[in-house]
């Protein structure tokens, strides 16, 4: 009688080329639950997170989006949530905003509690312009129809807000007051320089101006027709 050897599943390693199904299988068996992403069929395992280069800008972006979400019933905010984009891409964005399919959204929550499809807005905090957030990941988001994509490059302290137009990302430029306005989420206004300089009071004040506009109120009513 022959005895089959025990087959062990290798851990996720940077640079592994996997299908999304195999990526999930290995990820679920990771004992220490490190952050890992599958981008264009390639595995990226996150390095330790630094305080000023990632933790602080990440928390400030989440705070901004949380205020908007509180004032916009029907909008769904998540932090570091796995997204099943397609067969070769399963990122874990730093933040995202989405709306439900019933009111025009392009993603859904699966039975096993993952996001499937393209959220309307994704935010990433990147170390620099050399990061995959501005290369392979940007292309994956573009190809899958993520309507808006914000990248905060922490080393350069640069914030880019991209809008999907005719299959390509174009940069949304601040107006004369230094404000960028979302095309997808009415009332989501960002004082770019104030955020870069850490002036959170001004960031919040500008966001509140956007939330108080008639355009935002009409959007809330569209999201909640029964209210």
Spell out the residues 6+ positions from residue 119 whose beta carbon is closer than 8 angstroms to its own. Answer: 83, 93, 96, 97, 98, 106, 107, 146
Report the pLDDT value the prediction gives residue 33, as an integer from 0 to 100: 62
d(CA 210, CA 10): 49
In order of start, what are the domains of the chain with their CATH numbers?
A: 51-223 (3.90.1570.10)
Query: Residue 152: its pLDDT value, please?
Result: 96
* 25-39, 103-117, 119-133, 177-191: least confident range: 25-39
Query: Using 50, 70 and 90 to split pLDDT, how confident is the model at 164?
Result: very high
pLDDT per residue over 124-150, tens digit each?
A: 999 766 688 899 999 999 999 999 999
Spatial CA neighbour of 155 closest among 36, 48, 50:
50
Alpha helices in the chain (DSSP H): 20-28, 56-70, 136-144, 192-196, 200-211, 214-223
Residues 109-120 have pLDDT tens digits of: 999 999 999 999
Q: What is the mean pLDDT of the chain?
A: 91
Closest CA to 160 of 170, 151, 147, 173: 151
- Residue tagged 């990226």 (tokens): 44
Burial class (CB in 10 A: 0-12, 13-18, 19+), 202: middle
Cβ–Cβ < 8 Å for 122, 149? yes
In this predicted structure, the answer to whether residue 7 has a pLDDT above a threshold of 60 is no
Contact present, 148 and 163 (Cβ < 8 Å): yes
pTM of the complete model: 0.91
């Amino acid at each position: 009688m022959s005895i089959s050897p025990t087959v062990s599943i290798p851990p996720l390693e940077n640079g592994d080329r996997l299908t999304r199904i195999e990526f999930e299988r290995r990820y679920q068996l990771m004992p220490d639950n490190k952050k890992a992403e599958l981008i264009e069929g390639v595995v990226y395992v996150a390095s330790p997170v630094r305080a000023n280069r990632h933790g602080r800008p990440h928390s400030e972006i989440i705070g901004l989006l949380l205020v908007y979400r509180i004032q916009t019933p029907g909008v769904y905010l998540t932090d570091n949530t796995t997204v099943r984009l397609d067969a070769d891409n399963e990122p874990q964005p730093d933040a995202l905003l989405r709306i439900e399919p019933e009111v025009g959204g392009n993603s859904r929550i699966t039975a096993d509690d993952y996001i499937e499809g393209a959220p309307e807005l994704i935010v990433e905090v990147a170390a620099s312009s050399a990061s995959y957030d501005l290369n392979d990941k940007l292309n994956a988001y573009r190809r899958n129809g993520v309507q808006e994509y914000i990248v905060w490059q922490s080393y350069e302290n640069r914030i880019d807000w991209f809008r999907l137009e005719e299959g390509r990302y174009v940069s949304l430029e601040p107006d004369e007051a230094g404000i960028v306005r979302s095309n997808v989420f009415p009332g989501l206004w960002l004082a770019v320089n104030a955020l870069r300089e850490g002036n959170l009071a001004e960031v919040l004040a500008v966001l509140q101006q956007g939330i108080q506009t008639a355009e935002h109120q009409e959007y809330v009513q569209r999201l909640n027709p029964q209210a």
